[in-house]
Amino acid sequence: MKVMGYDVTVEVDGVESVVQLDDTYPAVNDWKSATEFAMALADHIHPDAIDISFVECSEFELEEYKSYGYIHEAPMILQ
């Protein structure tokens, strides 16, 4: 399994910020779920923000995991 990285740019009250994620997070499987996760994270961190907007999402294969032969997908577990 390739490990993909995502740089999600969000704008919080006019200030851009980049949230760096990868699909080793159980809630992140693709660019769409990475974007949803980043938007929820920005909303959680800035509860008093008036405007939280999505700007862009870049997707790339993480270099540091290329040498591993196989990486199992992270399971979603609720406790």
Tens digit of each residue's pLDDT, the chain (79 residues): 678 899 999 999 999 999 999 888 878 889 999 999 999 999 999 999 999 999 999 999 888 877 777 776 666 666 5
Q: How much is the pLDDT for 2?
A: 78
Residue 73 lies in a domain: no
Residue 26 lies in a domain: yes
Residue 77 lies in a domain: no
Q: How much is the pLDDT for 75?
A: 67
Centre a 10 Å sphere on the Cβ of residue 8 and count the other Cβ atoms it contains: 25
For the chain, how many structural domains are there in total? Answer: 1
d(CA 49, CA 51): 6
Provide the H-helix boundaries in the chain: 31-45
Residues 52/43, Cβ–Cβ less than 8 Å: yes
Q: What domain range includes position 48?
A: 4-65
Residue 53 lies in a domain: yes
